[in-house]
Structure 1
């Protein structure tokens, strides 16, 4: 360790998941932020986890950390603490990720480390540090979680609808209350910021996700084997909804017009209802290098109707030079214009845009180039994280 490293300020990063592998949006965001923040800070990472982390994955994160601490969530305590929230006003997911024994150990760590600043990702991890006042703190809301839950209510069963409605109200209240426990606040998109209930929400800084540099530099010769491709964590409800929409809404419209399309779906943890679609789609599940799946598709289609935040899948597909079609909801966070991305809201709208791209190679190339240039200019991890670092430095002095 050289002398300049010894004088870096100490940053405690608190995460509700271990940030590797980066198959989920919060993990991807945390991994790249830790990587780039480590240039200015000594990182003390505190990660909750629901499973045992391999030494290989630990090493990927530890390369950027002064210290790495992983706390395993006990299965029975998760269930008990989630149920306990029926007697409180806190969100159920906050109870799910909170365990008193872990909180005690984190308190001991904070007393020893004496951080110059604390960075907490997602409100569900905030219970562990919200009452620590010996340094300044940042909360990264990431998304308006309350809005994401609210959008799922109409599509839920009767019992689920009651639970989701209760969680929506709890999250709305909790997002508001937490604001005052932290000195600095970030969120992925303007549309999510506007959905936070706090009267001073305008003070929340917009800090979008970036895209890994390797998505711009993919050079493996891969044959285009599928007309359409979609990727994502396949246990996440908005992605499950998108796969069903592609299969049951868009493809039948295309077939009725005389075009049978091949569809590739890739991503971790496919639920059984997606696995049952095998035959109608080609399902890979988890792949070691997700770029291989993007590269096999002619058009990337993302019918996102209930998610929040910025869709990493769109950033990655555009970075790889694949023309994309998505919904206005997803593009609100992305902010791309009509020369860089195509938008649709109905099965017929998606089908028309797909037909248009599949039938015109020159048009595909134009959208591919414009989309790639847009992402390259606006979603660089290093630039985005430097803004975060500079602000946290300023308020921690």
Structure 2
């Protein structure tokens, strides 16, 4: 067997956000089967601080700072008829490193993590290509465009259109295209040209969770959240990601007023790095605290009474939902946020559609300690029994064309 080239739009360390969590575990699994060479980008100095972790698992690697300004990426995209998100990740240095690695090493599989990185797969490569698209980005931008106005709407609709063409190109090129859930896989197939949809090798490969790490028994609640009024409601995530920002604004402006009208001490805690100015400006509004980045999300989850995930635009499986469930929190979420999680509504989590329904669910669950405990226990039980990374990645050897390979753990 040959070696593997792993192309990732962000360094898979530390695994502290949704895409990094998935890429981290996939990379570890691949490294347990063959030497892996990694080409990837850093967003900031904190990413570069994890380069030693990457070097410890990769046979070789190239980590570059992604510095291209968005206006320049947009200009290149418009002039070249390409998606902005594609040109934003184009780097001649990384392209040269990929070329040299393919020349000098016995690479027979290229694993593409996120569609932005498929541009680095040479047309001359004759080995196997696996494209882990995770979710359907073109559909996300279509949704952005439908909710925006004027120039913003035009930009998002264009991005959705050209990304759709790029997704079709990737699927046509790949030996296997992976999506995070069966629903997401069906969505991609429905957006492909009919002739391609018939022959496309599209599969679902979900996310897992380490329930021994996300366990309320192994951490102490964060004092700063415990000192707040209850019920203590938490939302976690990357807080410069547009769907997360929209969800938090919805919670602050439309859901929390109804909750606090019946329970005046209720508090909402927004925990995640890079909160945008619109969120920072709402710190203190309607019982809300914007905490920003934390080193460990578990104590914050342990100190909360329930998790709220009011995402209106949601693609793929939400790690924030799995983590909250593992930490024995009742989770109230939208139908989209429940995508790909085969838990039982009303037992393992509570799906609510609409601001009033979400506020009502918060009040109904939070007013009874016994009900909270029962919901939280059921949530964790489902995670322990149904969600794990070995189970989620069980078909990975098949997808990379090595069905007989064993995935050995890599520390």
TM-score scaled by structure 1?
A: 0.92
Query: Where does residue 180 of structure 1 map in the other structure?
Result: 172
Q: Is 1:120 aligned to residue 125 of structure 2?
A: no
Assess, with a 3 A threshold, how the Cα gap between structure 1 residues 79 and 178 changes in structure 2: closer, same or farther: same
Corresponding position of 1:371: 379
Of 189-198 and 270-279, the range deviating more from structure 2? 189-198
Once the two structures are overlaid, the 10-residue window that deviates more, 274-283 or 232-241, is 274-283
Equivalent position of 1:352 in the other structure: 360
Pairing 1:142-291 to 2, within 5 Å after superposition: 142-196=134-188, 197-198=191-192, 199-200=197-198, 203-212=201-210, 213-216=212-215, 218-222=217-221, 224=226, 225=228, 226=230, 227-280=232-285, 281-291=288-298
Cα displacement string for residues 34-55 of structure 1 (whole angstroms, at most 9, x for unaligned residues): 1232221212111123434666
- Please give the residue correspondences for 1:319-358 in structure 2 after superposition, counting only pairs within 5 Å: 319-338=326-345, 339-358=347-366
Q: How far off is 1:380 after superposition?
A: 0.8
Unaligned runs of 5+ in 1: 1-7
SS in 1 for 2:312: coil
Rounded to whole Å, the distance in 2 between the matches of 1:217 and 1:13 is 34
Task: Name the counterpart of 1:5.
Answer: none
* Residue aligning to 2:408: none
Matched, 1:88 2:80: yes
Cα offset, 1:347, TM superposition: 1.2
| Counterpart-to-counterpart distance in 1, 2:122 and 2:388 | 30
**1:134 Cα deviation after fit:** 2.7
SS of equivalent to 1:283: strand
Match of 2:7 among 14, 17, 23: 14
Whole-Å separation in 1 of the counterparts to 2:171 and 2:126: 17
- CA offsets per residue over residues 319-378 of structure 1, 9 Å max, x none? 111110000111122222121110111111011111111112222122212211222233
- 1:210 Cα offset (Å): 1.3
State the alpha-carbon separation in 1 of the partners of residues 308 and 216 from structure 2: 22
In the TM superposition, what is the alpha-carbon distance from 1:301 to its structure 2 partner? 0.5
User: What CA RMSD, in Å, does the superposition of the two structures yield over aligned residues?
Assistant: 2.2
Cα deviation code 1:52-102 (max 9, x no counterpart): 4666411222222222221233435x6434312213332111111112343
Gap regions ≥5 residues in structure 2: 406-411
Q: How many residues align?
A: 389
Task: Compute the displacement of 1:383 (Å).
Answer: 2.5
Q: C-alpha distance in 1, partners of 2:186/2:308?
A: 27
Write the mapping of 1:47-86 to structure 2, written as runs, cut at 5 A.
47-52=40-45, 56-75=49-68, 79-86=71-78
